[in-house]
């Protein structure tokens, strides 16, 4: 029997390694930006075309490389960051595995130009699929310029798994923002096709956050600073009143490296306990400095997950620091036991007694004295003065109106039954109703041969979805005008996306008077939502579009209707009266597809009598 184990060729091994390192164009951006930062660059420029599928170019003014280093940098596991295994626990740099450039070169056309400051000329290397096609001397500026073209050109299956250009651009912007937020002292710029998305000058942390998220974000930030023996915390948290319905603005940086940590995120949420609305998430930009020996970064290919030696101590310190900052800046209620000098009694009032207030009463006042009784029901020109209250009732029995006598006892009054129901439904009607609500989540209705159980949220979502589709494609919905314009704050990417769906939103009932680079002014909203729900609804809509941006107009309209219907639908836990239950049931079965939600989930189930009888056997 022949041997079956053999060594893989280098180009195959490189492509397998590239699958771990390079998942999409954003992965290439991240690796190249980190290399530029490790090269001590002060200015980094990023250019992309068609969401990085055609071109990714990163230019820096860092230290550059020699001829030998530039050639060796594309070999697997070639790095200048570490030399021994012990160096993994004393990392001060971004990259250290030596896989990035080798993996990128295995699946793209790469061109590298680099020059050190002491060299007169630089080096230009061109690589296609791990094979070096040329290496020659060139004239270039100090630093490194690397261009990655035709990503995944030799792996068509991987290229087919990439999302639309808008989605991939969103991932690139996310990676760019994470690196830029961690290094405010470096100037960054990002150009997509021919449009400049970001131009961030060197600044401090607060200015960098404001430059990325918009000018209005400055007033939303509360500084956090704490220094202990095991941890140093700096950064900012958002004020509770500006909390969002999504987790978009949540950033943890450990030793200037972006990480994801559900455990530390829980510590932040615990610090905001009691200050946030239901289903709201706080914003935070927290920079943690710890001893490199106390963390392990090398546990995930993307290096976004870290192991800590003592997570419990970090949890307690982080929660306490945020609570202290919220209380210090009067965001959270605090107890102040210090004496307020403003409440002290002035010296000249020290021995002065309080004076008793004087109240004067006119004891001879009588409101009924010398009043004249006048009534339009009496005969014309009939006036009678009375000196006492008994005179008010004189002549009522003998008084007549016109020429006919009036007998008060014969007057009949219409009686109106007070039902206590806003819709006027009687108790007998409710008792005979065929629907009732179970657990504030399901609507139970009777059938001829069994029972119908309807999920109220999913049913209402289906109803609103079809109504919104009709409004967008056929006729515009009715809008209610706002007494005062509603101004909402968004960042630059959100406002650009909002401009793209503005026409479709106006078909659903929204009316925008102005959309700037950082805000949107709304003067009309759909009649089915309240003003307090607008911000949450639009935030969720923008998140849905950022995660799944459609490529054609039909899917664009479909996603818009789905997102709005999901946000506007009645939620589980809401109490519905009889009329509201009937409205959902009747509206559901008037839909074209009542059995499924827009997300292909079942709306209702039926329980035949036969199945119920089996339960009692």
Chain segment 280-317, per-residue pLDDT in tens = 888 999 999 988 888 777 666 666 777 788 889 999 99
CA 594, CA 473: separation in Å to the nearest integer?
20
Joined together, the tokens standing for residue 568 give 């506007």
pTM over 0.85: no
Assess contact for 151 and 21: CB atoms under 8 A: no
pLDDT tens track for 100-136: 888 888 889 999 999 999 999 999 999 998 888 999 9
Q: What pLDDT score was predicted for residue 488? A: 87
Q: Is the pLDDT of residue 11 over 80?
A: no
Assess contact for 500 and 476: CB atoms under 8 A: no
Q: What pLDDT score was predicted for residue 197? A: 86
Q: What is the mean pLDDT of residues 580-604?
A: 92
Q: Give the SS3 label for residue 533.
A: helix
pLDDT tens track for 205-262: 999 998 888 767 888 899 999 999 889 999 999 988 888 877 778 999 998 889 888 8
Q: What pLDDT score was predicted for residue 177? A: 92
Q: What pLDDT score was predicted for residue 383? A: 47
Domains annotated for the chain, with CATH where assigned, are 10-200 (3.30.565.10), 205-328 (3.30.230.10), 436-606 (3.30.1370.100)
Torsion sign, CA atoms 46, 52, 57, 58? positive
Q: What pLDDT score was predicted for residue 378? A: 45
**Backbone angles phi and psi of 82, in degrees to 5:** -135, 160
Q: What is the mean pLDDT of residues 551-576?
A: 81
Q: Is the pLDDT of residue 343 over 70?
A: no
Q: What pLDDT score was predicted for residue 346? A: 65
Joined together, the tokens standing for residue 405 give 């006598």
pLDDT tens track for 189-205: 999 987 888 899 999 99
Closest among 95, 82, 119, 78 to 37, alpha carbons compared: 95
Q: Is the pLDDT of residue 483 over 60?
A: yes
Q: What pLDDT score was predicted for residue 547? A: 67
E strands within 89-219? Answer: 109-115, 122-128, 131-138, 143-149, 187-192, 195-200
Q: Is the pLDDT of residue 269 over 80?
A: yes
Lowest mean per-residue pLDDT among 107-116, 407-416, 505-514, 578-587 = 407-416
CA 255, CA 263: separation in Å to the nearest integer?
18
**Backbone angles phi and psi of 197, in degrees to 5:** -90, -40
* Strand ranges across the sheet with 284-289: 221-227, 232-238, 284-289, 250-254, 257-259
Q: What pLDDT score was predicted for residue 377? A: 45
E strands within 71-186? Answer: 109-115, 122-128, 131-138, 143-149
Q: What pLDDT score was predicted for residue 112? A: 93
Q: What is the mean pLDDT of the chain?
A: 81
Joined together, the tokens standing for residue 155 give 């792996």
């Amino acid at each position: 029997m022949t041997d079956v184990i053999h060594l893989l060729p280098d180009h195959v091994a490189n492509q397998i390694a590239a699958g771990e390192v390079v998942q999409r164009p954003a992965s290439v951006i991240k690796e190249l930006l980190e290399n530029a930062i490790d090269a001590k660059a002060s200015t980094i420029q990023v250019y992309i075309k068609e969401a990085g599928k055609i071109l990714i170019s990163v230019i820096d003014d860092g230290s550059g490389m020699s001829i030998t280093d530039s050639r060796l940098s594309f070999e697997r596991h070639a790095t200048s960051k570490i030399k021994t295994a012990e160096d993994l626990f004393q990392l001060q740099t971004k990259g250290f595995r030596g896989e990035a450039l080798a993996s990128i070169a295995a699946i793209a056309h790469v061109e590298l130009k680099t020059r050190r400051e002491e060299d007169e000329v630089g080096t230009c290397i061109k690589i296609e699929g791990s094979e070096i096609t040329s290496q020659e001397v060139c004239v270039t500026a100090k630093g490194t310029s690397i261009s990655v073209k035709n990503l995944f050109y030799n792996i068509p299956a991987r290229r087919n798994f990439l999302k639309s250009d808008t989605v991939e651009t969103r991932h690139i912007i996310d990676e760019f923002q994470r690196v830029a937020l961690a290094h405010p002292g470096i100037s960054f710029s990002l150009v997509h096709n021919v449009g400049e998305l970001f131009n961030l000058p060197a600044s401090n942390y607060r200015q960098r956050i404001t430059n990325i998220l918009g000018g209005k974000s400055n007033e939303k930030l509360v500084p956090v600073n704490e220094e202990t023996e095991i941890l140093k915390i700096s950064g900012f948290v958002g004020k509770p009143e500006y909390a969002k319905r999504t987790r978009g603005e949540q950033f943890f940086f450990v030793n200037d490296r972006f990480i994801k940590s559900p455990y530390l995120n829980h510590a932040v949420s615990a610090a905001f306990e009691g200050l946030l609305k239901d289903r709201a998430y706080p914003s935070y930009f927290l920079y943690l400095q710890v001893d490199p020996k106390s963390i392990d970064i090398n546990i995930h290919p993307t290096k976004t997950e870290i192991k800590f030696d003592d997570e419990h101590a970090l949890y307690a310190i982080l929660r306490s620091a945020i609570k202290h900052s919220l209380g210090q800046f009067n965001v959270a209620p605090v107890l102040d036991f210090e004496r307020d000098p403003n409440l002290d009694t002035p010296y000249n009032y020290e021995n002065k007694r309080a004076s008793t207030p004087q109240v004067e009463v006119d004891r001879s006042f009588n409101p009924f004295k010398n009043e004249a009784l006048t009534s339009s029901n009496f005969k014309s020109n009939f006036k009678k003065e009375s000196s006492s209250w008994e005179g008010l009732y004189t002549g009522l029995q003998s008084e007549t109106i016109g020429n006919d006598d009036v007998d008060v006892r014969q007057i009949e009054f219409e009686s109106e039954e007070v039902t206590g129901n806003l819709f006027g439904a009687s108790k007998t009607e409710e008792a005979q109703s065929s629907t009732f609500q179970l657990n504030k989540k399901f609507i139970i209705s009777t059938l001829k041969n069994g029972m119908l159980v309807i999920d109220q949220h999913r049913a209402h979502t289906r109803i609103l979805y079809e109504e919104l589709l009709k409004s967008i494609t056929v006729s515009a919905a009715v809008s209610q005008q706002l007494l005062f314009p509603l101004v909402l704050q968004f960042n630059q990417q959100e406002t650009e996306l909002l401009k793209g769906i503005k026409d479709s939103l106006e078909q659903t009932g929204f009316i925008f008077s102005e959309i700037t680079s950082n805000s949107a002014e709304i003067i009309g909203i759909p009649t089915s939502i309240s003003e307090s729900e607008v911000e949450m609804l639009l935030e969720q809509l923008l998140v849905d579009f950022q995660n799944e941006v459609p490529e054609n107009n039909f899917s664009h309209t479909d996603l818009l209707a789905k997102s709005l219907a999901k946000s506007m639908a009645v939620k589980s836990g809401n109490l519905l009266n009889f009329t509201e239950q009937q409205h959902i049931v009747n509206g559901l079965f008037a839909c074209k597809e009542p059995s499924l939600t827009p997300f292909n989930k079942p709306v209702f189930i039926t329980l035949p009598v036969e199945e119920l009888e089996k339960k009692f056997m």
